[in-house]
Amino acid sequence: MKKRTIVVCPQCFQSSHELSENYDPEKPVNGTMIMLSEPYRSYGWETHAEDDTGVGEGDILCGFCGEQIVKNGVIIMENEYDTPTTSVNKKHRRRR
Ligand SMILES: [Zn+2]
């Protein structure tokens, strides 16, 4: 199951961005670690330079309110799944 981690804005609590596969909690946030989420990307929302490690947290802004979504390295994350999670089937015993 594909999982993505969305980034929640600390001001308006909406999410326009998500972590990219380049995200590394050991390193300072840069432009390549966070990307604009769908469907906003296909809406043509403006995004920061997502291939630029020179882009810092001050340039990564919430698409809803324009606030910085990363402050002092703090990212509010939430996991989101592409498909609805099915209940974990722990009772997988078969009775004879
Ligand atoms: Zn916001």
pLDDT single digits (tens) 11-46: 999 999 999 999 999 999 999 999 999 999 999 999
Spacing, Cα 71 to ligand 1 middle (Å): 12
pLDDT at 80: 84
Spacing, Cα 39 to ligand 1 middle (Å): 16
| Residue 89 is assigned to a structural domain of this protein | no
pLDDT at 94: 60
Domain that holds residue 11: 3-81
Q: Is the pTM of this model over 0.75?
A: yes
Distances (CA, A) of 41 to 19, 23, 37, 63: 14, 19, 6, 10
| Residue 56 is assigned to a structural domain of this protein | yes
Rg of the chain over Cα atoms, rounded to whole angstroms, equals 17
Residue 70 pLDDT level (bands cut at 50, 70, 90): very high
Provide the 3-class DSSP secondary structure of residue 75.
Answer: strand
**pLDDT: which is higher, 93 or 69:** 69
| Residue 94 is assigned to a structural domain of this protein | no
Q: Give the number of domains in the chain.
A: 1
Q: Which residues, at least 6 apart from 75, have a Cβ–Cβ distance to it below 8 Å?
A: 7, 19, 29, 34, 69
